[in-house]
Amino acid sequence: MTALADSQARLATLGVIVAVLGTMLGGTVDVLNKLLAQDIPVLQILWVRFLVFVPIAALLAWRPGQGVSWRSKRPVLQSVRALVLVAATWLFVSAMKDIALADLHSVAASSPLIVVALSVPMLKEPVGWRRWSAVAVGFAGMLVILRPGFQSVNAGIWLALGGTLLWALYQILLRMVGREEDAATSTVWTAAVGAAALTAIAPFDWVWPDTRAWVLLAAVALFGAFAHYTWSRALVLMPAAALQPFTYLMIVYAVISGWLVFGDLPDRWTVLGAVIIVASGLYAFHRERVRARAQT
């Protein structure tokens, strides 16, 4: 039992490290995306990112003597998951053109609560009244960010909200796939399906990048590939709900990077709403730990 407990503890620790790394890589990608989105069409950014992602994903999925780990037991689910990610990313990057990174991630911080809500019908996980209460309070925090009366709300906030809903759905689908597939296979499918879908539509909205833009596009593709892989790996190592609190690090990263790179700082409504959302999310995480201990 001690050896088993030690092994589980090591896996949990590794999952936390990988999740934090993935969060930081994702934050860096957001900064680069916001820089690019001022001059380059969003679909073009995503297209180049996913095209570069394909060979990187293949390299990550390479197995000596076996080749690329691309065979899937759930090809339809893998394809749907990849398309959901493309749509969520398009909404997020589109939102970055109009709102600060801190505002974007304050809205996106509600995704763990959406994951809790979706885990009932999609993962068949039990959710007690306390965690449902946390979800309700978190959505109240979202209303604070959207402003009382829904007046003077930047359209980018609504794009961010749509992206958050799809991002939560993507995490649920990734967890479902992770029960049968490894992170490498999921990464290959994400890259291939995303690149194929974007190849069909992105060339119709093309602006030739200058040298600076090419460098940024390459950096987005590189960091994005490793961010996806690390997050996929973390979700295999630990339950989805247990990893959610670490996504709140993204708000801190977004505030700091947004201020240093763009001179943006969140207003009082965004700060208040983010505090409510994070507090409710952490409480939901606490209840998940209590439930897990009660089952052991």
| pLDDT tens per residue across span 109-139 | 888 788 888 888 888 877 777 878 888 888 8
In a domain, 203, yes or no: yes
- Long-range contacts, 263-267 (Cβ 8 Å, 24+): 264/100, 264/101, 264/102, 265/100, 265/102, 266/100, 266/102, 266/103, 266/106
Give the confidence band of 45 by pLDDT, cuts at 50, 70, 90.
very high
Q: Which domain holds residue 212?
A: 20-295
Residues 6+ apart with CB under 8 A from 266: 100, 102, 103, 106, 255, 274
In a domain, 11, yes or no: no
| pLDDT tens per residue across span 62-91 | 877 777 767 888 899 999 999 999 999 999
| Tokens linked to 286 | 């606490």
Give the confidence band of 148 by pLDDT, cuts at 50, 70, 90.
low
In a domain, 157, yes or no: yes
What pLDDT score was predicted for residue 93?
95
- CA–CA separation, 89 and 191 (whole Å): 13
| Number of domains into which the chain is organized | 1
| pLDDT tens per residue across span 233-251 | 777 777 666 666 677 778 8
- CA–CA separation, 187 and 137 (whole Å): 34
In a domain, 2, yes or no: no
62-63 vs 67-68, strand pairing mode = antiparallel
In a domain, 153, yes or no: yes
Q: Does residue 195 come out as left (phi exceeding 0), alpha (psi in the -120 to 50 range) or beta?
A: alpha
In a domain, 258, yes or no: yes
| Tokens linked to 68 | 């690329």
Alpha helices in 38-179 (DSSP H): 42-60, 75-96, 101-108, 111-123, 129-146, 155-178
Q: What percent of the chain has pLDDT over 90?
A: 26
**pTM to 2 decimals?**
0.82
In a domain, 10, yes or no: no
In a domain, 5, yes or no: no
| pLDDT tens per residue across span 244-279 | 667 777 888 888 888 889 988 888 888 888 888 888
